[in-house]
Structure 1
């Protein structure tokens, strides 16, 4: 038997033509693009605004359809369409197309369950009505005398962050789900207790932390600036230091550069605030968990609050930081993680003048490298690596070029057979 059946010199792979997939062949069938992405509605919006340059941003799982959509919009409007290359935090927008069909579903359920309450789409700008509950872009009005202990939840949709957040927000309520894509229905909540204990563990880690990194995970949610200021005050009054960081989509490599930070708190939209930080060098908590760790007037109730607006003054979960007697500012308790004594020194609320003069940012100009160093800038200047130099306006813009094609069969330093 010839050995050519089992091996060859692999020369043929060099000359073998490679078939590249059509970049426009996305996962959404052509006939459904118009409905799913609301092409005509988008065209009308662009024309009403008179826009000449339009940028499209897609969540990661929908980027495969971006080229076809951009071409359709360009043909219909004459505008120049760009596709943003950066990734988003997640696909947290409510599916409006599917939500429009909920009246089929509501009428059928009402025949069997007279007390059914169906959620509706809600916008932040809408004024909530009396007794209305809002979570993750949805609103519903349950009976306040029965809410929430007497209610069960029925979630229509695939497993994802929204369902997980709902489970952790109301862990004592029975949850059922139906996935219309697979036709599978099931009872949820098998691992909720384990998830809640993990969140409690993170609260204890936050109590142990001395340096906190505040991650700016959203620029498009209203009141995020108020949330950042509120967090800084709460962390300061608990005797901890805080640094504010904004770095786009998070990954373990980015956050591993900040070794001085003991724990991070993520300020993001409700659906993406509970980030799984098991792969990160330091834990990541929500604003609610950070406040429970810092505010002695807050106690953990076993529920997770993912909407940071509820923690602000006037919010349903707001608890003012108590006035601490200077003689009682130093306290000691025991860490439930290490078992060691933990010293806490509460501080007074910073004034706006103290907050300005005590900034940790380094001020730079063309004459001096650093005009004034705060604690964070001093630590950064002592490092061997101090971040990337953007060189704004100095790097020429060049067109992307096509790379090499083919299949590598050997390295230069590889010994020949």
Structure 2
């Protein structure tokens, strides 16, 4: 019950924990930390008049001063965007369009998900990183100088990667340093470290990989599974996303805050099996809720339409929800939903739904549940753009006639042990080029009458369905005048029948 309500006295006695993450930025001047000079050049060179400055919560304390400095140098009008509707790592283009901004400057950590509407500049900031300590930790973790290692890092430490590369690449010839690169239709600007940006990162024979805003190359004849991953940054969503995507690679990390390196001991197989359990729940589901977790990542509308299509063809009902930041009380309001699928950026898609009343899966997991042509191989996809036609992990849906001709049409749920049908075809027939809803669902070449109104079926199965109308059981009477007043003192109630202590007194 605490998920739905709380004691009013708790607000008075509540202790607020102040985040100390801002101390990571307290090095150097404000102009240097937030690259105000480069930002002003970006604004003036493109003749922008309205600039949206998007800050995460832990950097809002510096927002006013930064805004004033930019306005003073560029004569442009700035708008501070805080408390974003979804994750702060994504660009909030919707909020920027509300103020009719000409461009966006995104501050702090970023998932580098592509956006399409407005020109964009990333300012990651410069969190301190002891390069010597980082290099020493790398040498301790990889004693073999011929090790094949790919160096990944949180974007806030990108300023120090050039110095680290100079320290390591001479001793480790097979080390590959990733380069940040944004995918943006307006040409998103990244302020690179010159030592990395001007370096030739690959030869003509190498295979270049670009994903999650990182670009790196692997040697010809080798796979990415042959490399180890070295990550610079704290444990969080970025590292989890990398480890789930490249789950066959060994990972180690260096934490610049504690200046310690370690081999990541997270049990990837256990994490994958936990996600596979969510896939089984999605297979058992009859009603699916599509959660809109982003309005800025490119192609989010396309993946929503694709999800609607595969859910519909799997014989399930879908509803779409746009509710901003997701929490337990919001989703608990919809008990009819069996499972939710979250459309968000790669880092925010891996939501831990252990506290939720219904599981929350990713678009990839939903496709595993609905598309029998996609099999579980251990590969894991967090970027929904890879699932779209033309993407690296796109798998087409089976044709209806192909589905009917297959022999195996049922399987057993690993959760409930019940039989379930896997070869549902579309419950709509195309008549004169348009989709017509039908209550006849063809299955196994046999027409079976089915109720397609899932919400009505759920209501009929509930023990309490609201106030009982008792049609035909209540006598018909004329309308009568009801009570007047307030609940504490109705006019028709005699004063003598009530406790005098409950009657409000007025003092003259």
In the alignment, what sits opposite 1:332? 410
Quickly say closer, same or farther: Cα 1:377–1:70, change in 2 above 3 A.
farther
Aligned residues, how many?
Answer: 342
Question: d(CA) in 2 for partners of 1:61 and 1:377?
Answer: 42
1:341 aligns with 2:419: yes
In the alignment, what sits opposite 2:87? 89
In the alignment, what sits opposite 2:132? none
Match of residue 369, structure 2, among 258, 270, 293: 293
Any gaps of 5 or more consecutive residues in structure 2?
Answer: 1-21, 90-109, 113-123, 125-154, 188-203, 438-451, 467-508
Quickly say closer, same or farther: Cα 1:36–1:282, change in 2 above 3 A.
farther
Quickly say closer, same or farther: Cα 1:335–1:64, change in 2 above 3 A.
farther
Residues 129-173 of structure 1 show CA distances to partners (whole Å, capped at 9, x for unaligned) of 983223321121112522123111111112111111111112221
Question: d(CA) in 1 for partners of 2:413 and 2:456?
Answer: 30
Question: d(CA) in 2 for partners of 1:65 and 1:47?
Answer: 22
Match of residue 330, structure 2, among 243, 254, 259: 254
Match of residue 231, structure 1, among 307, 317, 327: 307
Quickly say closer, same or farther: Cα 1:172–1:99, change in 2 above 3 A.
same
Quickly say closer, same or farther: Cα 1:380–1:272, change in 2 above 3 A.
same
SS of residue matched to 2:318: strand
Conserved 8 A contact 2:368-2:374: yes
Larger Rg: 2
Shift of 1:284: 0.9
Conserved 8 A contact 1:211-1:263: yes
In the alignment, what sits opposite 1:19? none
Quickly say closer, same or farther: Cα 1:322–1:345, change in 2 above 3 A.
closer
- Return the TM-score normalized by structure 2: 0.60
Quickly say closer, same or farther: Cα 1:175–1:30, change in 2 above 3 A.
closer
Any gaps of 5 or more consecutive residues in structure 1?
Answer: 1-25, 359-373, 385-417
1:76 aligns with 2:154: no
Shift of 1:30: 7.7
Name whichever structure is richer in strand by fraction: 2
Quickly say closer, same or farther: Cα 1:155–1:215, change in 2 above 3 A.
same
Match of residue 207, structure 1, among 263, 270, 283: 283
In the alignment, what sits opposite 2:491? none
Shift of 1:344: 3.5
Shift of 1:273: 1.3
Question: d(CA) in 1 for partners of 2:58 and 2:81?
Answer: 14
In the alignment, what sits opposite 1:40? 37
Question: d(CA) in 2 for partners of 1:200 and 1:178?
Answer: 30
In the alignment, what sits opposite 1:110? 169
Question: d(CA) in 2 for partners of 1:299 and 1:327?
Answer: 19
- Return the TM-score normalized by structure 1: 0.73
Quickly say closer, same or farther: Cα 1:226–1:131, change in 2 above 3 A.
farther
Question: d(CA) in 2 for partners of 1:321 and 1:133?
Answer: 27
Question: d(CA) in 1 for partners of 2:222 and 2:361?
Answer: 31
Question: d(CA) in 2 for partners of 1:332 and 1:242?
Answer: 22
Cα RMSD, aligned residues only? 3.3
Question: d(CA) in 1 for partners of 2:70 and 2:403?
Answer: 63
Question: d(CA) in 1 for partners of 2:409 and 2:221?
Answer: 40
Question: d(CA) in 2 for partners of 1:80 and 1:268?
Answer: 31
Match of residue 122, structure 1, among 172, 175, 181: 181
Shift of 1:279: 1.9
More deviation, 303-312/288-297: 303-312
